[in-house]
Amino acid sequence: MDAHALALSCMGAPASVSIRLNPFKPVPAPADGVRVPWNQYGYVLQSRPQFTLDPLFHAGCYYVQDSSAMFVGHLFRRLAKGAGLKVLDLCAAPGGKTTDLAASLRLACGDNFLLVSNEVMRQRAGILNDNVALWGDPNVVVTSVDPAAFARLGSFFDVIVADVPCSGEGMFRKDPRAVEEWSPELVNLCASRQRRILADAWPSLKKGGLLIYSTCTFEEEENDCNLEWAASELGGSIVPPADAPEGVRITRSGYMLVPGEVPGEGQWAGALFKESDGGDLRGGISDLRPLRQGVKKGIQKGKDFVPDADYALSLDFCRDDYPLVELDLQTALKFLHRDSFALKDAPPGYLAVCYQGHPLGFVKNLGNRCNNLLPAGRRIRMDV
């Protein structure tokens, strides 16, 4: 059946729910989870839990990501080889592919890699920044610049992952707005914008480097045609699609995931290697004014060294730096809601509060109450 027709036939079914575990903040696999075929840490759930009320979600122990979107990480693991990789996630918000790439890179390369995660829209970049903080990998740099800004780095990156804005047909079941906004004119506009994005970022990819291109639409003009355009006009060699997992379609130049054939929503992905010469290296990452680069332990304020909230979430967090206090579920939710609570049996001063052994953040224990160092923008806003 045609992908459009099959996807439309599934519109009445509920959207799937899946999570991907953080291998560096281990928790048990979900009891009702079914393993995603192309990601060993991905699980499709039978029902949607209240993730907001799970402290392990706020500790970065897992990320809620559509199982079809995890296919991009599968292509990356299959094609990107070597240590010391420098990778650009070009259109990264809200952070699903970035966190998948970060886990894959750390598993393959240890601490020897750099991942730049970029989102041009400033508000969405803030969401990306928070999600990267929760995931906790200090080798992820977050930027918010136009793709053209990366050209001034010269041929810097070994891999570029471009999950570009698209007409969104693959999200019809999950996002009613995508249905309302779709039109043939939108497809043409998106296809043109996607080519501009690829052309702008292309100079920053090394010769021999890998481009993974993906969308969440079924439109050939935005998928196969654009990857073939990049190969022809920019100078690349398409990686012939092969060995697709069960349920995944092979198209001319890539892979298509269609609701009804796979558990998740719609996705298309393909890859090519750069054959043309790149530009000379002309700048560094700091020129891009990152929103996040590395991890800060804290800041000196008067006589106090105040810990940075993100340090508790970082994989670089040293558990000997602060007393650790285990919270029960109710108290953990109070911390995440920024409610008042006391830790009368805990030592005074700065403490790292944990849930099931995983740090959530810091408080300053004053005896009769605690000052909460959780950033206000990350607090749970629903009733707890």
Q: In the chain, pLDDT over 70 holds for what percent of residues?
A: 98
Give the whole-angstrom CA distance, residue 94 versus residue 123: 10
- Do 324 and 244 reside in the same domain of the chain? no
- Do 202 and 322 reside in the same domain of the chain? no
pLDDT tens string 261-300: 999 999 999 999 999 876 565 666 877 899 999 999 999 9
Q: What pLDDT was estimated at residue 278?
A: 61
pLDDT tens string 206-218: 999 999 999 999 9
- Do 262 and 337 reside in the same domain of the chain? no
Statement: residue 245 has pLDDT above 70: yes
- Do 222 and 78 reside in the same domain of the chain? yes
- Chain-centroid distance of CA 312 in Å reads 20
Q: What pLDDT was estimated at residue 279?
A: 59
91 is catalytic: no
Q: Which pLDDT band, with edges at 50, 70 and 90, does 321 fall under?
A: very high
- Do 228 and 322 reside in the same domain of the chain? no
- Do 303 and 238 reside in the same domain of the chain? no
- For tokens 């810091």, what's the residue? 362
- CA contacts within 13 A on the Cβ side of 9: 10
Q: What pLDDT was estimated at residue 184?
A: 92
- Residue 327 within any structural domain of the chain: yes
Instruction: Return the CATH number at 316.
Output: 3.10.450.720
**Which of 208, 242, 274 is the C-terminal boundary of a domain?**
274
The domain tally of the chain equals 2
Tokens read off for 205: 């990819």
Cis peptide leading into residue 348 (ω within 30°): no
- Do 159 and 216 reside in the same domain of the chain? yes
- Residue 356 within any structural domain of the chain: yes
**What is the three-class DSSP state of 3?**
helix
- Residue 178 within any structural domain of the chain: yes
Q: What pLDDT was estimated at residue 281?
A: 59
Give the whole-angstrom CA distance, residue 253 versus residue 354: 47
Give the whole-angstrom CA distance, residue 83 versus residue 70: 22
- The DSSP line for 350-379 is EEEEEETTEEEEEEEE-SS-EEE-S-GGGS
Instruction: Return the CATH number at 150.
Output: 3.40.50.150
pLDDT tens string 85-102: 999 999 999 999 999 999
- Do 119 and 81 reside in the same domain of the chain? yes
- Do 228 and 352 reside in the same domain of the chain? no
Give the burial class of 18: count Cβ atoms within 10 A of its Cβ; 0-12 exposed, 13-18 middle, 19 or more buried. buried
What range defines the domain where residue 248 resides? 68-274
Tokens read off for 24: 């560096």
Q: What share of the chain is helix, strand, coil (3-state, %, to 5)?
A: 30, 25, 45
The kind and range of the H/E element at 107 are: helix 96-109
- Residue 59 within any structural domain of the chain: no
Which of 61, 216, 354, 370 is flagged as catalytic? 216
Average pLDDT rounded to a whole number, residues 70-82:
97
- Residue 20 within any structural domain of the chain: no
Q: What pLDDT was estimated at residue 3?
A: 84
- Do 266 and 332 reside in the same domain of the chain? no
* More confident site: 272 or 3: 272
Q: What pLDDT was estimated at residue 384?
A: 82
Q: What pLDDT was estimated at residue 107?
A: 98
Encoded amino acid at 272, one letter: L
**Which of 274, 304, 327 is the C-terminal boundary of a domain?**
274
Neighbours of 186 (CB within 10 A): 16
Average pLDDT, the chain: 94
Q: Which pLDDT band, with edges at 50, 70 and 90, does 171 fall under?
A: confident
- Residue 359 within any structural domain of the chain: yes
- Do 352 and 230 reside in the same domain of the chain? no
- Residue 287 within any structural domain of the chain: no
Q: Which pLDDT band, with edges at 50, 70 and 90, does 306 fall under?
A: very high
Statement: residue 115 has pLDDT above 90: yes
- Do 318 and 266 reside in the same domain of the chain? no
Contact 384, 50 (CB under 8 A): no
**What is the three-class DSSP state of 299?**
strand
- Residue 93 within any structural domain of the chain: yes
